[in-house]
């Protein structure tokens, strides 16, 4: 009766002899378990036969019912209880996630008492299912998940292709650089020697290449020499930005880009510059501005700002690396962008998890932010406060002023992880005002068809220090 109430399509059913003192059956090698009862079917499906161990179900009975009607009742009740047990197991699986189970296989013992079936789930070896029983009082013996809430959030977002790409940007950048090195022309020995020495020895050839002087090397050749020298930190003269931060203060404008410069022949260009300074706490900060040229000298500006900190290199012995922790974003339309707008979140949004918690009220931020912007056109300075839930889950709330800048900041902080703003700096000469750095996010431009882009070090950029009041210029 129990065997008829259970259904295991992928299992092998082995029944003992009828004249045995205690009847029983064993269902072994099943990758799926199904229980039917009460008009519903609840299933526990394993991930795959190769990944999950076999689920073992041992069915035993102390005696055999004497009548067919009593056996039917026992089958119905047993099947119904089996459905409830299976549903309980699935609920536990969703609540606790994937955990390793100590036992190599589970067993489900069935016994008959007064002709009625009663199930007790002792253990079930399936993906993430912990040992429990029908009463729900069992405890799992699996390992405890040591990940923090922020790490769980990072892993959760990686199911989307964009976030998975952002999480692996360092590995893809290193692989792309290896391909570019194989395809690049070998730099001249004198240029390699100058790149190893660094400083003024390399600033001269780099300036000549940017000015396109006669007999000067190509910019791509100089950049390749810089990259090769920086890949060997023992021989490279690369300067750490933190060591010369005071000399870095001011405006740095990008004059060459491995991604954008080749596209100028199609009429595509860009204006990029950064302002290096400090905030109220005297911490190093960077304001980055990117302008899309429009008619009559106007630009559509996308700006962001954040703290400048050191970061570990992408590879052992690689060039110095900096991380810009952007925590404010804004857009402008005009000849020049606004300068740093300051922290608009009250210092509350310090990471992506907090930004995600605050982004739960983005419709309210957008609506009140748009109203505030509209009133500002007529000279009205009206502030709207919005309660934002705490990401700690303690029930507390924080008050933030609604604005379009805050709305954009929260979305950008969730969409752009810090891995995208981690930039290697293979060459820096603060005295000559020259810097070669990389933005890994621009690297995929080198994967475009060769008739559109020549490839090479597409992530590399060259910036020069200019006066603070210098007008923005295209790359």
Read off the pLDDT of residues 415-445 as tens digits, 9 standing for 90 and up.
Answer: 999 999 999 999 999 889 999 999 999 999 9
pLDDT in the model for residue 405: 87
| pLDDT-derived band at 24, boundaries 50, 70, 90 | very low
Read off the pLDDT of residues 50-71 as tens digits, 9 standing for 90 and up.
Answer: 334 333 333 333 343 444 443 4
Cα(167)–Cα(110) distance, rounded to whole angstroms?
Answer: 48
pLDDT in the model for residue 466: 94
| pLDDT-derived band at 177, boundaries 50, 70, 90 | very high
Distance between start and end Cα atoms, the chain: 80
More reliable by pLDDT, 325 or 149: 325
Name the one residue in this structure whose structure tokens are 């689920």: 55
Read off the pLDDT of residues 316-337 as tens digits, 9 standing for 90 and up.
Answer: 888 889 999 998 999 999 999 9
The DSSP secondary structure of 206-253, one letter per residue, reads: HHHHHTT-TTPPPHHHHHHHHHHHHT-TTT--PPPGGGGHHHH-EEEE
Read off the pLDDT of residues 259-301 as tens digits, 9 standing for 90 and up.
Answer: 999 998 888 889 999 999 988 888 899 999 999 999 988 999 9
As separate numbers, helices (DSSP H) first and strands (DSSP E) second, the chain gives 12, 19
Cα(167)–Cα(442) distance, rounded to whole angstroms?
Answer: 15
Under 8 Å between Cβ of 198 and 244: no
pLDDT in the model for residue 296: 87
Q: Is 58 left (phi over 0), alpha (psi -120 to 50) or beta?
A: beta
Under 8 Å between Cβ of 457 and 258: yes
128 pLDDT higher than 50: no
When the pLDDT of each residue in the chain is averaged and rounded to a whole number, the result is 73
pLDDT in the model for residue 104: 37
Collect all residues with Cβ–Cβ distance below 8 Å to 60 and sequence separation of at least 6: 22, 23, 24, 109, 110, 111
Q: Which of 463, 108, 83 is nearest to 271 (CA)?
A: 463
79 pLDDT higher than 70: no
């Amino acid at each position: 009766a129990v065997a008829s109430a259970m259904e295991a399509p992928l299992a092998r059913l082995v029944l003992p002899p009828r004249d045995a003192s205690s009847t029983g059956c064993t269902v072994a090698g099943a990758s799926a378990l199904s229980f039917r009862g009460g008009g519903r079917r609840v299933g526990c499906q394993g991930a795959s036969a190769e990944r999950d161990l076999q689920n073992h179900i041992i069915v035993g009975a102390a005696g055999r019912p004497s009548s067919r009607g009593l056996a039917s009742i026992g089958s119905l009740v047993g099947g119904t209880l089996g459905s409830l047990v299976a549903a309980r197991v699935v609920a536990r699986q969703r609540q606790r996630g994937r955990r390793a189970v100590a036992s190599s296989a589970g067993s489900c013992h069935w016994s008959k008492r007064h002709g009625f079936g009663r199930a007790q789930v002792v253990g079930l070896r399936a993906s993430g299912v912990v040992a429990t029983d029908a009463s729900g009082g069992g405890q799992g013996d699996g390992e405890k998940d040591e990940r923090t809430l922020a790490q769980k959030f990072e892993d959760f977002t990686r199911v989307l292709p964009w976030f998975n790409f952002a999480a692996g940007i360092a590995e893809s950048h290193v692989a792309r650089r290896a391909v570019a090195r194989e395809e690049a022309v070998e730099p001249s020995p004198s240029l390699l020697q100058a790149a190893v020495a660094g400083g003024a020895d390399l600033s001269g050839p780099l300036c000549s290449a940017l000015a396109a002087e006669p007999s000067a090397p190509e910019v791509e050749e100089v950049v390749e020499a810089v990259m090769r020298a920086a890949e060997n930190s023992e021989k490279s003269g690369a300067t750490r930005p933190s060591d010369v931060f005071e000399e870095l203060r001011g405006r740095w404008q990008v004059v060459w880009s491995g991604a954008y410069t080749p596209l100028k022949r199609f009429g595509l260009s860009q204006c990029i510059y950064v302002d290096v300074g400090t905030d109220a706490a005297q911490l190093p900060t960077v304001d980055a501005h990117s302008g899309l040229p429009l008619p009559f000298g106007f630009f559509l500006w996308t700006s962001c700002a954040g703290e400048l900190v050191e970061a570990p290199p992408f590879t052992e012995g690689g060039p110095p690396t900096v991380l810009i922790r952007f925590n404010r974003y804004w857009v402008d339309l005009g000849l020049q962008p606004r300068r740093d707008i300051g922290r608009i979140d009250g210092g509350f949004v310090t990471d992506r998890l907090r930004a995600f918690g605050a982004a739960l009220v983005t419709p309210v931020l957008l609506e009140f932010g748009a109203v505030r912007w509209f009133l500002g056109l007529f000279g009205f300075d009206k502030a709207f406060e919005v309660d934002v839930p705490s990401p700690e889950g303690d029930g507390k709330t924080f008050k933030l002023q609604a604005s379009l800048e805050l709305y954009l900041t929260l979305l950008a902080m969730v969409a752009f992880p810090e891995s995208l703003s981690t930039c290697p700096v293979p060459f820096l000469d603060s005295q000559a005002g020259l810097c070669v750095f990389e933005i890994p996010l621009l690297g995929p431009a080198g994967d475009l068809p060769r008739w559109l882009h020549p490839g090479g070090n597409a992530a590399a950029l060259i910036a020069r220090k200019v006066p603070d009041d210098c007008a923005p210029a295209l790359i």
